[in-house]
Amino acid sequence: MVVEQKNVVKGELYVPGDKSISHRAIMVGALAEGVSEIDGFLLNEDCLVTIECFRRMQVGIEILPKNRVKVYGRGLHGLKHYLHPFDTGNSGTTIRLMLGIMAGQKFNSVITGDDRAHKRPMGKVVKHLRTLGANIIGKEDGNYVPFLINTSHLTGATFDFPNSGTQAKSTLLLASLFAEGETVIKERIKSRDHTERMLNAFGANIKVEGDIVRSSAVQELFAQKVYIPGDISCAIYFLAAGLIIPNSEILVKDVGINETRMVIFDVLKKMGAKIEITNVRTIDNATIGDISAKHSELNGITVEPDEVARMIDEVPILALIAAKANGTTVLKEAPEIMQKETNRIKAVSLELSKMGAKITETPEGIIIEGGKNLKGTVVESYNDERIAMALAIAGLVAEGETMIRKPQCVDVAFPEFFDILYRL
């Protein structure tokens, strides 16, 4: 994939539905009684894998025109035994969240994935589920797929999360639907709350008290209508282009602006970004708005550990923005990013450095000296969609042409990405 430098980008656009919410809508809808109607569903590879896994358990799921989906729920205890392993492809979200659901079933199951999934560490999630009583066997003591989930009796427990752990929390909340007693999660760093919101909308018993989340089992969940807003972690790439390319302005419409997802904008505003959110409204419990970004004189800042922990997906594009800002930006402590199947800190440092950025890795994160001119070259995506999309935006500001290897990985998260990019 070749990306050429652009002198200006302007336009209005829409991004696909939020991936995190799309996964959860299928799963919770499958566990509910009745027919759930989902509007704005993200039809990417990862979310289609989730649909296929639940179809294997005899959950009726219809994909309709205009990104609408119907889920014919079977209830909390109505999933049917599937005799073969669930193939989750490269979807780490599907694996982690399904572990929580399958741990509470009255039948054994096996979860596996593709070669990339076999490199995704899952040990923390498995350890937490074992604390509830789950019987999970996996490679390297449960750190990697494939996983065998045996039937077990789950009992509520108390967890203390020192770092942000959205998927670990979500996995436990799904498992708590089948656990005896109360499951309590204390978050020292507040993470995304999509699972709490969705489960409660479907009738779960989850209480949030400051940094403590409490969940107890219920007898049943009830089908709902779900509106999925545009994915903020997809919108950020085009907004970044508006910020760093002179005379540019981008408007992304109908984006989800859940407060637990807004840290990237707080960081950018501290750097001097001209970002504005307008037309804020609520649809089916989803808060959405239109986000605009204008070319800005940006300045380097220090990004604190709690901020880095809450924007793992956004760190690659933030590194690019920092490379074009004035002064030095420091990203402190990013252990969760380093532990992914792609070390995003190392990957983005290497590839942007090839283009002329000055980035120094430290044991805790990266130091970026901004204000450098970038030059197009051949760069590697590492089969990581977040790296590929950040490098594509880098190509817009780099002199000459930038060729991205293995750009097809973007289809996992954002199939329309390059089509929108070339229309700007």
* Catalytic residue annotation: 313
Distance CA 259, CA 330 (A): 24
Task: List C-alpha distances in Å: 256 to 4, 43, 97, 149, 259.
Answer: 30, 17, 21, 34, 9
For 58, residues 6+ apart whose C-beta sits below 8 A from its C-beta are 74, 79, 80
CA 379 to chain centre: 23
Cis-peptide into 146, omega within 30 deg? yes
Residue 152 CA, distance from chain mean position? 29
Answer for the pair 193, 201: CB distance below 8 angstroms, yes or no. no
Tokens of 269: 């505003």
How far does Cα 166 stand from its chain's mean position?
9
Distance CA 423, CA 403 (A): 18
Taking the C-alpha atoms of residue 398 and residue 353, their distance in angstroms, rounded to an integer, is 12
